[in-house]
């Protein structure tokens, strides 16, 4: 994690309370409630806390889980993976490697024809930057 990691009071001042709950307190959105779970536009998904590019629409797929799902991050170095044993489950937590924001979890039940991974991400942990299509 970079030195951009802020203390808790600064995040509370900067973030919407719902975004804070998900990204700083490791919350989870209700399935099928997030703005990006069924989002189909081409572009990049950025960390809602610090703006770091995390995922591309090219790696997004419909997992049926109710959360935005990706088979890989844009760059492996943009995310940090940590073991998460909360609630008696063994999972792998996904965090923004720039600011430490909780994004969601990664599972091994993604598309077999690509990575086999499913990065299951909360919409509130993401912002979207639409791809600019220019004619050359």
List the structure tokens of 55: 């995922």
Q: From the centroid of its chain, how far is CA 30?
A: 15
Task: Enumerate residues 6+ apart whose C-beta is below 8 A from 98.
Answer: 1, 2, 4, 47, 50, 52, 78
Active site residues: 120
What global pTM score does this model have? 0.90
Question: Could you give the domains of the chain?
Answer: 8-129 (2.170.150.20)
What tens-digit pLDDT sequence spans the chain (136 residues)? 444 456 888 999 999 999 999 999 999 999 999 999 999 999 999 999 999 999 999 999 999 999 999 999 999 999 999 998 887 888 999 999 999 999 999 999 999 999 999 999 999 999 999 988 764 4
CA-CA distance, 73 to 136, in Å (whole number)? 29
């Amino acid at each position: 994690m970079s030195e951009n990691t802020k203390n808790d009071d600064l995040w509370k001042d900067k973030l919407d309370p719902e975004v804070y709950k998900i990204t700083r307190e490791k919350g989870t959105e209700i399935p099928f409630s997030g703005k990006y779970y069924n989002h189909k536009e081409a572009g990049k998904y950025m960390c809602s806390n610090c703006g770091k590019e995390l995922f591309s629409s090219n790696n997004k797929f419909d997992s049926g889980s109710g959360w935005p799902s990706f088979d890989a991050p844009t760059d492996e170095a943009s995310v940090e993976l940590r073991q998460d044993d909360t609630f008696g489950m063994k999972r792998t937590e996904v965090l923004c490697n720039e600011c430490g924001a909780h994004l969601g979890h990664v599972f091994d039940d993604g598309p077999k024809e690509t990575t086999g991974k499913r990065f299951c991400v909360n919409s509130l942990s993401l912002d979207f930057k639409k791809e600019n299509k220019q004619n050359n």
